[in-house]
Amino acid sequence: MSILKVARIAHPVLRSPAKAVPKEAFRDRLFQKLIDDMRVTMYEYEGVGLAAPQVHEGLRLAVIEVPGSEERARAEVPFMVLVNPVVTPIGDERENGWEGCLSVPDMRGVVPRLKRVKLEALDRHGKPYSLEAQDFFARVVQHECDHLDGHVYLDRMADMRSLTFIKEFEDHVHHDEE
């Protein structure tokens, strides 16, 4: 497995809509390796999700894994693969929350996201699944699926004044919220 180079904003691959993964791909050794490489790349940079365009592959593919955290009120999400995902709102309730992105290094910003969504996708073997995601999991799903359409979280921020560097976030913002 290899740790992949992560594209940073201004690289065109992050602004181009990704292409659907074709059926033949699931039996392709290189496609399966790409998933494994995205997994270790996500771990290496301590992300909770990674989309294929972020590693210079214009495919509708993303991986997600969220370690549970009581302190941050995050439910655990075991490693999962999203191929050709479709996200549908459940209700219209939105919630503000902090987001960061491996393609926008060292920054955080507050982004309003739907609190609940339905996710329909294929797993790494091409098997369809469907689930309901809420809270932080729903946020990660929306963030990663946005990458497949050429969007980053900065585009979704309602107020750019919350944009902060991580160091300043730790120094000034994080403490205020506790």
Residues near Zn ion, by CB under 5 A: 101
Q: Which of 114, 143, 128, 158 is nearest to 54 (CA)?
A: 143
Which of 42, 101 has the CB closer to Zn ion?
Answer: 101
Residues 6+ apart with CB under 8 A from 75: 66, 68, 135, 136, 137
Beta-carbon neighbour count of residue 53 at 10 Å? 27
The residue number whose beta carbon is nearest to Zn ion equals 101
Q: What whole-number distance in Å separates Cα of residue 165 and Cα of residue 53?
A: 23
CB of 109 to Zn ion, least distance (A): 11
CB of 86 to Zn ion, least distance (A): 19
CB of 26 to Zn ion, least distance (A): 25
Q: Is 96 helix (H, G, I), strand (E, B) or coil?
A: strand
For the question of residue 120 being annotated catalytic, the response is no
Residue with tokens 């496609």: 31
φ/ψ of residue 138, rounded to 5: -60, -35
CB of 46 to Zn ion, least distance (A): 13
Q: What whole-number distance in Å separates Cα of residue 64 and Cα of residue 66?
A: 7
Among candidate residues 144, 168, 170, 178, the one labeled active-site is: 144
Which of 28, 102 has the CB closer to Zn ion?
Answer: 102
Which of 38, 101 has the CB closer to Zn ion?
Answer: 101
Which of 101, 119 has the CB closer to Zn ion?
Answer: 101
Q: What whole-number distance in Å separates Cα of residue 108 and Cα of residue 99?
A: 5
Report the catalytic residues.
Answer: 144
